[in-house]
Structure 1
Amino acid sequence: MSNTTPRVRELNLYRQYFNLVAAGTKTIEVRVKYPHLADLAAGDVIRFRIKGTDETCEAEVTRVTEYSDFEALLDGEGPASVNPDTNRDEQLANIRKIYPPEKEALGALAIEIQLVR
């Protein structure tokens, strides 16, 4: 029996994405492969927070997959898992508003999550 406690990471989300995670309909979180996320792994817990508020929800990481860019990520994961309310082209544009080309060049992470109730 293991006594290891899952690592908890805290990540900020915009309200629209937070609401989808909290509802359990967003199952893939998209991030740039920043050094602080390089060791993110299945079993870790992410505490999502709306920046500047006390609103949080927690999700368990079930898988992390690295892609060369956001287009490959959306093609590999399917846009409905990233944002069920928006089509692929809109999602790509929205992601690239958040992450400029020099950030995308670091690599894209598809973080599969399951809401912790």
Structure 2
Amino acid sequence: MSNTTPRVRELNLYRQYFDLVAVGTKTVEVRVKYPHLADLTAGDVIRFRIKGTDETCEVEVERVTEYPGFETLLDGEGPSNVNPTASRDEQLANIRAIYPPEKEALGALAIRIELIS
């Protein structure tokens, strides 16, 4: 018998995105391809936390897809999966406000997630 305990990662989220994940309407999380996320894979668990609080929710990673940038990610994944409350252009502006061009140049990860009940 093999040990198949999923790895658990903790990542911070802003309240507006946390709330969408917590109700299951945000199914794709966008991150820069930082080295600490390079080995993120299907089956891993992400525990999202609102920074400075004890509020958390857990999701299972269904897949991780790498894109050269945020525009191609939104086009490939569909903006409504990333944030069903904002237009594509609003999302692009919001993502780029969080991640400056030098971070986007590292590559973008689309992390398909499913809320763990």
Q: What's the TM-score once normalised by structure 2's chain length?
A: 0.99
Q: Which residue of 1 aligns with 2:40?
A: 40
Percent pairwise identity: 84
* Aligned-partner Cα distance in 1 for 2:66–2:53: 30
SS, match of residue 103 in structure 1: helix
Amino acid in the other structure paired with 1:69: G
SS, match of residue 17 in structure 1: helix
Amino acid in the other structure paired with 1:43: G
What RMSD, in angstroms, separates the aligned Cα atoms of the two structures? 0.6
Question: Structure 1: which 5+ residue stretches go unaligned?
Answer: none
SS, match of residue 43 in structure 1: coil
* Aligned-partner Cα distance in 2 for 1:81–1:4: 28
Q: What's the TM-score once normalised by structure 1's chain length?
A: 0.99
Amino acid in the other structure paired with 1:10: E
Q: Displaced runs of 4+ in structure 1, greater than 6 A?
A: none
Instruction: Map Cα deviations across residues 49-98 of structure 1 (whole Å, 9 max, x no partner).
Output: 00000000000000000000000000000000000000000000000000
Q: Which residue of 1 aligns with 2:12?
A: 12
Residue 4 of structure 1: how far off its partner (Å): 1.9
Amino acid in the other structure paired with 1:86: A
SS, match of residue 102 in structure 1: helix
Question: Structure 2: which 5+ residue stretches go unaligned?
Answer: none
* Aligned residue runs from structure 1 range 1-117, under 5 A: 1-117=1-117
Amino acid in the other structure paired with 1:13: L
Amino acid in the other structure paired with 1:76: G
